[in-house]
Amino acid sequence: MFHYRRLSRGEVERFETPYNENLLEVHLTDWPVDGSDDDDSKWLPSHCVMPSRYCQFAERIRNLTVYEDDVWIVTFPKAGTTWTQEMVWLIDRDLDYETAATVNLQQRSKFLEMFTFVSKMNLPDSIALVEEMPRPRHIKSHLPVALLPQQLWSVKPKIVYVARNPKDVTTSYMHHYKHIHGFEGAQQDFLDGILQDKIIWCPQVKHAADFWHMAKNRKHILFLHFEDMKRNLMGVLAKVCTFMGKSYSTEQLERLAEHLSFENMKNNKTANNQILVTQAAEAMGRSSDQFKFMRKGEIGAYRSELPVDFSMKMDELIREQLSGSDFKYRE
The residue among 267, 266, 287 whose CA lies nearest residue 277 is: 287
Q: Quote the least distance from Cβ 10 to ligand PPS, whole Å.
A: 27
Residue 146 CA, chain-centre distance (Å), reads 14
DSSP state of 57: T
Distance in angstroms (rounded) separating the CA atoms of residues 273 and 296: 14
Question: In the complex with ligand PPS, which residue's Cβ is closer, 36 or 204?
Answer: 204
Return the half-sphere exposure (C-beta side, CA atoms, 13 A cut-off) of residue 138.
Answer: 21
The stretch near ligand PPS (CB under 6 A) out of 18-26, 213-221, 242-250, 259-267 is: 259-267
The residue among 292, 280, 296, 291 whose CA lies nearest residue 114 is: 280
Reply yes or no on whether 142 is catalytic. yes
Tell me the residue nearest to ligand PPS as measured from the CB: 297
Question: In the complex with ligand PPS, which residue's Cβ is closer, 108 or 176?
Answer: 176
- Contact between residue 178 and residue 281 where contact means Cβ atoms under 8 Å apart: no
Distance in angstroms (rounded) separating the CA atoms of residues 258 and 188: 37
Based on its alpha-carbon atoms, the radius of gyration of the chain, rounded to whole angstroms, reads: 19
User: Considering the rule CB under 6 A, would residue 265 count as an interface residue with ligand PPS?
Assistant: yes
The residue among 170, 196, 169, 214 whose CA lies nearest residue 327 is: 214
Among 123, 241, 301, 322, binds ligand PPS (CB under 6 A): 301
Distance in angstroms (rounded) separating the CA atoms of residues 1 and 18: 28
Among 82, 106, 126, 204, binds ligand PPS (CB under 6 A): 82
Q: Quote the least distance from Cβ 286 to ligand PPS, whole Å.
A: 18
Q: Quote the least distance from Cβ 161 to ligand PPS, whole Å.
A: 12
Please give the full DSSP string across 115-136, using - where no structure is assigned. Answer: GGS--SS----HHHHHHTSPSS
The residue among 71, 276, 107 whose CA lies nearest residue 181 is: 276
User: Considering the rule CB under 6 A, would residue 81 count as an interface residue with ligand PPS?
Assistant: yes
Among 14, 47, 62, 78, binds ligand PPS (CB under 6 A): 78
Among 26, 79, 199, 221, binds ligand PPS (CB under 6 A): 79
Question: In the complex with ligand PPS, which residue's Cβ is closer, 185 or 297?
Answer: 297
User: Considering the rule CB under 6 A, would residue 294 count as an interface residue with ligand PPS?
Assistant: yes
Among 45, 51, 77, 144, binds ligand PPS (CB under 6 A): 77
Q: Following CA atoms 223, 210, 295, 240 in sequence, which dihedral angle do they give, to the nearest 10 degrees?
A: 10
Among residue numbers 157 through 186, which ones bind ligand PPS (CB under 6 A)? Answer: 168, 172, 176
Q: Quote the least distance from Cβ 331 to ligand PPS, whole Å.
A: 15
Question: In the complex with ligand PPS, which residue's Cβ is closer, 81 or 150?
Answer: 81
Distance in angstroms (rounded) separating the CA atoms of residues 185 and 16: 9
**Active-site residue, from 3, 47, 138, 142:** 142
Handedness of CA 268, 290, 188, 185 (dihedral sign): negative
Among 80, 149, 157, 193, binds ligand PPS (CB under 6 A): 80
User: Considering the rule CB under 6 A, would residue 118 count as an interface residue with ligand PPS?
Assistant: no
The 122-161 site mask, x for binding ligand PPS (CB under 6 A), equals: ----------------------------------------
What residue ranges bind ligand PPS (CB under 6 A)? 75, 77-83, 168, 172, 176, 230, 260-262, 265, 294-297, 301
Residues annotated as part of the active site: 142
